Homo-oligomer: A and B are copies of this chain.
Amino acid sequence: MCRFLAYHGAPIFLEELVTSPSHSLIKQAIHANESRSETNGDGFGIGWYGEKDRPGLYREVHPAWSDENLLSICAQVRSHLFFAHVRAATGTATSRANCHPFAVGRFMFMHNGQVGGWRAIRRRVETFIPDSLYAARVGTTDTEALFLTALAHGLEDDPVEAIETTIGLVMNEMDRAAIGAPLRLTATLTDGQTIWAFRWASDRSPATLYFQQSHAGTVVVSEPIDERREDWTPVPPGQVLIARHGEMPVLRALSPTVPAGSGLA
């Protein structure tokens, strides 16, 4: 499991949300409250949009709680849209290539969840990545593979449908391999203009996801970064939150096509 945060709104210093809050991601890296794994010390990453189409990335294998570079960068960089992630590895190695967020072109993606039985179906899922995107497959995570698969299935045109398609494709492989463990996908995607925050699981028990709308913008988190729990609204399981620039965020139901008998409609 992992913990993450996404922001979209008026340009603010990353530190305002990533490092300063009372229960910031840094604190969650040491001890998360609502995560299956308390500690998230298998690397971290931030991605932010500035003046360019493509985001900047800073990803490292060290725990977030002891990285002075992270503190410094967050204190200096102002952005209107950024992601931050602290990782608890679910079976794949701790390396920069396996840290979130992942970026391809102007898109950025991060994930808190798992593809059940990943080791058994990794190769199969990688076949969904077209040759044109294979050079971007540099790690071994389920997350990177999900992202590249979605990119190959219309992510640039219809992100929600692309993620639904990806869920369907992966669930199909899990079904073929008779994997009992669930696919849990609590994930955030952006193209630098809009944030899509997905919350879906084949066992209806996806990792937590909350959002908050403030005067500055929209914040999406794995768990509240402050003590005011009442200010955070859960994204219901099976839904996606869409936060477009300058608009109020909206919720939409997810309806991936999954194999019959997978225990989920």
Contact = CB atoms under 8 A, between A and B. Distances in A.
B95 A97 contact: yes
Interface stretch (A66-74, A181-189, A197-205): A66-74
A50 interface: yes
A8 interface: no
A95 B96 CA distance: 8
A69 B76 contact: no
Interface string A69-92: 100110111100000000001000
Number of this chain's copies in the complex: 4
A213 interface: no
A75 to B, nearest CB: 7
A250 interface: no
25 contacts: A30-B39, A31-B39, A38-B38, A39-B41, A41-B41, A42-B66, A50-B78, A56-B76, A56-B77, A57-B69, A57-B72, A58-B69, A58-B72, A62-B62, A62-B94, A66-B89, A66-B94, A73-B73, A77-B77, A93-B138, A95-B97, A122-B134, A122-B135, A123-B131, A138-B140
B78 A51 contact: yes
Nearest to A122: B134
Given A93-B138, A135-B119, A69 B59 contact: yes
A63 interface: yes
A54 B15 CA distance: 15
Interface of A: 30-31, 38-39, 41-42, 48, 50-52, 54-63, 66, 68-69, 72-73, 75-78, 89, 93-97, 119, 122-123, 131, 134-135, 138, 140
Contacts of A63: 41-42, 63
Contacts of A38: 31, 38-39
Contacts of A57: 68-69, 72
Contact of A56 (B54, B73, B123, B140): B73
